[in-house]
């Protein structure tokens, strides 16, 4: 959907990255590595985004290593080698609308992911946590209790990781294992159940 609005898949992917990491700046080679996009496509879209004012840039000297007289390895800014860094321009007039549009589009993608997971098998519990609710470094981002084909689930998650532009850490637990972990007050499981989350399915009372 957003590709039709913005006219470029590369542009959408870059905007998603910049908006989800607002305090971070990236140089071009780093964007190639992080997004998996082609170098020329990134350069072209960065030029467009900079022209529109959605992205700003600055130059920073590259850090180089050197050896001191006593043999220690240290780093210092290079006087001749500089990198151009890009980041989202939060001062742009349309910044709030742009961010809201990307977030709403992400919600549609997440809803699509939930619907496809439910079609894989019998799900007893399904909840979004971690990155989906703004928690960085959580034990998991997606908890699934049920019986589903592991290979199909892995393929589905991988596909949506590319669309959302970030890694999704998910946990799949069989109903029997869920019952056992809950009975012994498993720290990992209760850490998820008691944390901030969005519950899609909860049929654990039937287990």
- pLDDT(60) > 70: yes
Mean pLDDT across the stretch 92-116? 85
Say how far apart CA 44 and CA 50 lie, in whole Å. Answer: 10
Question: Cβ(129)–Cβ(196) under 8 Å?
Answer: yes
- Checking if the pLDDT of 4 tops 80, the result is no
Q: At what angle do helices 9-20 and 95-118 cross, to 10 degrees?
A: 100
* Alpha helices (runs of H) in 94-164, residue ranges in sequence order: 95-118, 150-164
Phi, psi (rounded to 5 degrees) for 15: -65, -40
- What is the C-alpha to C-alpha distance for residues 165 and 186, in angstroms, rounded to an integer? 32
Is the pTM higher than 0.85? The answer reads no
Q: What is the mean pLDDT of residues 37-64?
A: 89
Q: Rounded to whole angstroms, how far apart are CA atoms 2 and 114?
A: 20
| Most distant pair of Cα atoms in the chain: their distance | 71
Nearest alpha carbon to residue 60 among 92, 91, 87, 88: 87
* Contacts of residue 83, Cβ cutoff 8 Å, sequence gap at least 6: 27, 59, 60, 61, 62
pLDDT score at 187: 94
Average pLDDT of the chain to the nearest whole number = 87
Q: What's the CA gap between 197 and 132, in Å, rounded? A: 8
* pLDDT of 35 higher than 70: yes
Give 106's pLDDT tier (boundaries 50, 70, 90): confident
Structure tokens, 207:
């287990």
């Amino acid at each position: 959907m957003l590709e039709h609005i913005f006219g470029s898949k590369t542009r959408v992917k870059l905007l998603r990255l910049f908006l989800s990491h607002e305090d971070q700046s990236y140089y071009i080679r780093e964007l190639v590595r992080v997004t998996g996009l082609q170098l020329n496509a990134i350069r072209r879209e960065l030029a467009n985004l900079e022209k529109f004012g959605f992205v700003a840039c600055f130059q920073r000297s590259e850090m180089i290593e050197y050896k001191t007289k006593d043999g220690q390895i240290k780093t210092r800014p290079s006087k001749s080698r500089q990198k151009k860094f890009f980041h989202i321009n939060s001062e742009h007039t349309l910044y709030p609308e742009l961010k809201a549009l990307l977030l709403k589009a992400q919600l549609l993608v997440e809803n699509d992911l939930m619907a496809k997971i439910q079609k894989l098998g019998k799900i007893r519990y399904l909840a979004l946590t971690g990155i989906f609710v703004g928690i960085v470094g959580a034990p998991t981002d997606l908890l699934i209790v049920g019986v589903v084909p592991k290979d199909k689930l892995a393929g589905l998650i991988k596909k949506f990781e590319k669309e959302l532009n970030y890694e999704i850490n998910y946990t799949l637990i069989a109903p029997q294992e869920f019952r056992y972990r809950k009975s012994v007050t498993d720290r990992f499981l209760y850490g998820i159940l008691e944390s901030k989350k969005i519950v899609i399915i909860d049929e654990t009372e039937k287990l």
